[in-house]
């Protein structure tokens, strides 16, 4: 897997410290580093991306090689330290991996980390395959140390989660750390910023010239029509072209842009098609170069409407563009649905849903029942529980970014105090960015109810530990950070910690909390089904089941469907959570064992 390749690239380059925050598609990088740690590397899941980057900055000041991992929206959180660190610089090499997600497949935005590199004036590597990502890690560390700057690497989902057969050859190169040496350069001040800004502006064009000779920035082929591409789109382009000879520019370092190489590429061309995902970064650079050097080359791509503006590319989408552009074969039947002449049957819709037995389903249901008939707004957050928006629960009215649920509820309350305002947040997200929102709520005397969905893990990204679990990536157990104690310290008192699977009790607690004037909170605590042992499954007593479908209509559990107009519980999915048995008006759901 590309993520494993990135981790191995760092390990072989002698990385001393790895930290990050989980986020699809980047998560497996840090996990691979932890799993293959020979004891010489310090690895941690930090509480968020900002903390991760700062921990790494400290280590790099002391001469360590550091790797920081996150998804693209994580870089937004880490941008505060990143922007300043770009000025201050590092001693030990620092590579910040920010994984982009064209599609998007599991993200809130289709933002492009290459822009962040331009904005922060930092070098960025853009691998086109897992093999390249592996090799680039050593290059990125070397470049980082040569210029004393953090370096970005931005793989995309198809690199991160694409697998390739490859060999990790040779011994790792250990990196010896010198330790921290006191120097005024580590303390940023306006005067120093001005000086560093000048140096960076001088450095980057020189770096662009140096990168023009970088082994993964290449020009190949010939002709008067060119194609410029980078990342996974390069592979789609090569696959589409087959053996057809077209002049091809591959950009592996979108910033600083390898201008000299681009000029060589543009020489003798009349037209260029730029094939890239997310934003037209390479396209704008080429337009800039054509303007700067008065080159009569037409640059086509997203800005001219030749390439789609959103979503990911594919071999087919590229093939279609190149069919029009250079006449590569695109058989007419490529668009045809197989079996023309037969009507395609209606395919079932499969939106992602909360797992069977997920404790969040019980929590959402309890709150929904408690608020029946009252005006209430439910602000959600980022995690598995965003899926509470689906029918039939429909318990997520807003979702913006990590930690925003608690603060959005406050804004809603100030304008609409007559309604009840709820904020749902998971345990890992609470630690990542929920705490400041809670303090804001208490300090500014708002009236909201915070529901903490504590399933004891970071579930959506694959069950990473967090401060509440006490488990660390070094294998040690630290003091578990207590959510009730934090809330108490903030001034949110009498917070019940309840098992949401006891629906009635849970619902009563919600009613009570919602009537409290001021900030109230409830912690619904029950382990994620993926980490807890399932309880005995429930079954339907078909003699009692009337086929009313109340269990399905109220809960939407993926384990329950209907067979012959009666409810049916799929035994391989049921975790014995019992809530369907609690809502069944006929007591027709039997077996299991109430927890």
Partner 1 sequence: MTMNCILSGVGGQGTILASKLLSQAAMNKGLSVRTAETIGMAQRGGCVVSHVRFGEEIHSPMVPGHSADIIIGFEPAEAVRCLPYLKKDGVVVVSKKAVIPVTASLGKGSYEPSDMFDYLKKNVKTLVIVDGEKICAQCGSSKVLNVALLGAACASGALGLTLEEIKTAISERVAPQFVEMNNKALAAGAAAAEKQ
Nearer to partner 1, 25 or 256 (CB): 25
Q: By CB under 8 A, name the one of 201, 316, 394, 494 that touches partner 1.
A: 316
Output DSSP code: residue 386. Answer: G
Q: By CB under 8 A, name the one of 113, 407, 461, 464 that touches partner 1.
A: 461
* DSSP codes joined into one string, 364-375: HHHHHHHTTTS-
Q: State yes or no: residue 359 binds partner 1 (CB under 8 A).
A: no
Q: How far is the CB of 278 from partner 1 (least distance, A)?
A: 17
Closest CA to 447 of 483, 429, 422: 422
Residues 477, 478, 483, 484, Cα dihedral to 10°: 100
Q: By CB under 8 A, name the one of 35, 40, 163, 417 that touches partner 1.
A: 163
CA-angle at 171, arms to 170 and 174, nearest 5°: 145
Q: How far is the C-alpha of 356 from the C-alpha of 557, rounded, in Å? A: 5
Of residues 102 through 141, those in contact with partner 1 by CB under 8 A are: 105-106
How distant is the alpha carbon of residue 578 from its chain centre? 33
Q: How far is the C-alpha of 185 from the C-alpha of 194, rounded, in Å? A: 13
User: SS3 for 460?
Assistant: coil
Contact status, residue 111 vs residue 63, Cβ threshold 8 Å = no
Nearer to partner 1, 169 or 415 (CB): 169
How many residues bind partner 1, per CB under 8 A?
A: 56
Contact status, residue 406 vs residue 520, Cβ threshold 8 Å = no
Q: By CB under 8 A, name the one of 24, 204, 363, 407 that touches partner 1.
A: 24
Q: How far is the CB of 338 from partner 1 (least distance, A)?
A: 5
Q: How far is the CB of 275 from partner 1 (least distance, A)?
A: 13
Of residues 318 through 357, those in contact with partner 1 by CB under 8 A are: 319, 333-334, 337-339, 342, 344-355
Distances (CA, A) of 583 to 5, 527, 535: 48, 21, 18
Contact status, residue 246 vs residue 221, Cβ threshold 8 Å = yes
- The length of the chain is 595
* DSSP codes joined into one string, 253-283: --BS--HHHHHHHHTT-SEEEEE-SSS-HHH
Q: By CB under 8 A, name the one of 178, 202, 239, 504 that touches partner 1.
A: 239
Stretch that binds partner 1, among 79-87, 141-149, 390-398, 480-488 (CB under 8 A): 390-398
Q: Give me 258's structure tokens.
A: 């390898």
Q: By CB under 8 A, name the one of 56, 124, 460, 584 that touches partner 1.
A: 460
Q: How far is the C-alpha of 277 from the C-alpha of 36, rounded, in Å? A: 32
Contact status, residue 85 vs residue 113, Cβ threshold 8 Å = no
Nearer to partner 1, 354 or 367 (CB): 354
Nearer to partner 1, 221 or 411 (CB): 221
Nearer to partner 1, 165 or 476 (CB): 165
Q: How far is the CB of 414 from partner 1 (least distance, A)?
A: 32
Stretch that binds partner 1, among 72-80, 139-147, 311-319, 405-413 (CB under 8 A): 311-319
Residues 533-572: x where in contact with partner 1 by CB under 8 A, - otherwise, as a string: ----------------x--xx--xxx-xxx--------xx
The residues binding partner 1 (CB under 8 A) are 24-25, 105-106, 158, 161-165, 232, 235-236, 238-239, 314-316, 319, 333-334, 337-339, 342, 344-355, 384, 387, 390-392, 460-461, 549, 552-553, 556-558, 560-562, 571-573
């Amino acid at each position: 897997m590309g993520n494993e390749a990135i981790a191995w690239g760092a390990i072989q380059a002698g990385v001393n410290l790895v930290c990050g925050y989980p986020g699809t598609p980047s998560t497996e990088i840090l996990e691979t580093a932890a799993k293959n740690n020979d004891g010489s590397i310090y690895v941690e899941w930090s509480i968020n991306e900002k903390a991760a980057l700062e921990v790494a900055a400290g280590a790099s000041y002391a001469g360590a090689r550091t790797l920081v991992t996150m998804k693209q929206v994580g870089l937004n959180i880490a941008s505060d330290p990143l922007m300043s660190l770009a000025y201050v610089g590092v001693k030990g090499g620092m590579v910040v991996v920010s994984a982009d997600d064209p599609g998007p497949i599991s993200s809130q935005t289709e933002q492009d980390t290459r822009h962040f590199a331009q904005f922060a004036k930092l070098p960025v590597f853009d691998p086109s395959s897992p093999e390249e990502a592996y090799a680039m890690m050593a290059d990125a560390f070397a470049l980082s140390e040569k210029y004393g700057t953090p370096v970005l690497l931005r793989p995309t989902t198809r690199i991160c989660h694409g697998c390739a057969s490859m060999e990790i050859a040779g011994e790792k190169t250990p990196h010896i750390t010198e330790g921290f040496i006191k120097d005024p350069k580590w303390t940023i001040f306006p005067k120093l910023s001005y000086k560093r800004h000048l140096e960076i502006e001088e450095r980057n064009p020189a770096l662009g010239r140096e990168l023009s000779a970088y082994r993964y920035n290449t020009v190949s082929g010939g002709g008067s029509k060119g194609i410029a591409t980078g990342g996974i789109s390069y592979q789609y382009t090569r696959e589409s072209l087959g053996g057809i000879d077209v002049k091809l520019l591959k950009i592996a370092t979108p910033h600083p842009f390898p201008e000299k190489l681009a000029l060589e590429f543009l020489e003798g061309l009349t037209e260029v098609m730029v094939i890239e995902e997310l934003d037209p970064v390479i396209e704008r650079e080429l337009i800039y170069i054509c303007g700067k050097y008065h080159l009569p080359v037409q640059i086509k791509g997203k800005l001219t409407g030749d390439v789609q503006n959103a979503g990911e590319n594919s071999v087919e989408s590229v093939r279609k563009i190149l069919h029009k552009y250079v006449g590569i074969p695109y058989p007419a039947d490529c668009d045809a649905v197989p079996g023309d002449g037969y009507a395609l049957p209606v395919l079932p819709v499969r939106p992602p849903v909360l797992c069977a037995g997920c404790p969040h389903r019980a929590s959402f249901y309890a709150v929904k029942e408690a608020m029946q008939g009252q005006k209430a707004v439910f602000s959600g957050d980022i995690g598995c529980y965003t899926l509470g928006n689906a029918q039939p629960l429909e318990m997520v009215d807003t979702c913006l970014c990590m930690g925003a649920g608690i603060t959005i509820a406050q804004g809603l309350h100030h304008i609409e105090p007559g309604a009840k305002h709820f904020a749902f947040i998971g345990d890992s997200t609470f630690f990542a960015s929920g705490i400041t929102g809670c303090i804001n709520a208490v300090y500014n005397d708002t009236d909201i109810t915070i529901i903490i969905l504590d399933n004891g893990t970071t579930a959506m990204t694959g069950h990473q530990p967090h401060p509440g679990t006490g488990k660390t990536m070094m294998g040690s157990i630290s003091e578990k950070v207590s959510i009730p104690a934090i809330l108490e310290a903030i001034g949110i008192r009498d917070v019940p910690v309840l098992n949401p699977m006891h629906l009635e009790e849970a619902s009563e607690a919600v009613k009570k909390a919602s009537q409290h004037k001021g900030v109230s909170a409830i912690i619904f605590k029950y382990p994620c089904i993926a980490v807890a042992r399932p309880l005995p499954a429930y079954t339907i007593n078909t003699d009692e089941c009337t086929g009313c479908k109340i269990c399905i209509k109220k809960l939407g559990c993926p384990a329950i469907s209907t067979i012959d107009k009666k409810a049916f519980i799929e035994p391989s999915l049921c975790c014995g959570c019992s809530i369907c048995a609690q809502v069944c008006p006929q007591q027709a759901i039997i077996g299991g064992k109430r927890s």
